[in-house]
Amino acid sequence: MSFQRARTEAQVASRQNEILNACAQLYEQGGAEGVTVKAIAARTSFSRPTIYNYYATKEEILLDLLRRECAEYTAEMERDLRAGGARSRERFCRLLTDGLTRHERMLRMMSVNLNAIENNVAEERLVAFKRGMNEWFRVLAEGLERFFPDSDARERELFLHDHFCYVYGLYPVTHPSARQVAAMEKAGFRQPECFERLCYEGLLRLTGRL
């Protein structure tokens, strides 16, 4: 059957999601290096030229996948932070930690691959991604006001950036490659503890200022 061009926004979105789903599978198996347009085409109903109708580079596909992951995380975070229950510092940190732990692919892409991805995408796609990050920060800022109503506005603003730097610096430290693990063992270097515990405890320290 000959290829039919997508004629509606819904059709375009459906095809892009098929491409992104294939990208996600490849990323899980081999990281960003394992993602190629050829490999994506082999996992979808599209040829390589068809995929290039939607994305100019593999990095644009990866960035769109990351944008989707971030949007899902942001929606979950908004739901969790608006839910009923005690508004304690401990619960706030646990909600953030649990949400981040559920989205390990997002953590990995943001921590390990983001700079390389952003350097090979069209400006409009990069702007769209940054808008999504603005939404993430907006939702978190609202959560901070809800859980810490008596906190200083400047300290809440600092937390937004400090928590981001901490979390995304922590992930690669707690997820070393097999080669790094082997080198640490030979060097007698103490391997890092698990992400979840260090994330929670670090967020507790950061929120101590609020």
The DSSP secondary structure of 10-40, one letter per residue, reads HHHHHHHHHHHHHHHHHHHHHTGGG--HHHH
User: Whole-angstrom Cα distance, residue 110 to residue 130?
Assistant: 12
The one-digit pLDDT tens for each residue of the chain (210 residues) are 344 565 687 888 888 999 999 999 999 999 999 999 999 999 998 899 999 999 999 999 999 999 999 999 999 999 999 998 889 999 999 999 999 999 999 999 999 999 999 999 999 999 999 999 999 999 999 999 999 999 999 999 999 999 999 999 999 999 988 898 899 889 988 887 899 999 999 999 999 999
The distance in angstroms from the start CA to the end CA of the chain is 61
Task: Give 54-58 contacts, CB < 8 A, sequence gap 24+.
Answer: 54/12, 54/15, 54/16, 54/19, 55/19, 56/121, 56/122, 57/120, 57/121
User: Whole-angstrom Cα distance, residue 58 to residue 1?
Assistant: 26
Report pLDDT for 1.
39
User: Whole-angstrom Cα distance, residue 199 to residue 195?
Assistant: 6
pTM for this entry: 0.91
50's enclosing H/E stretch is: helix 48-51
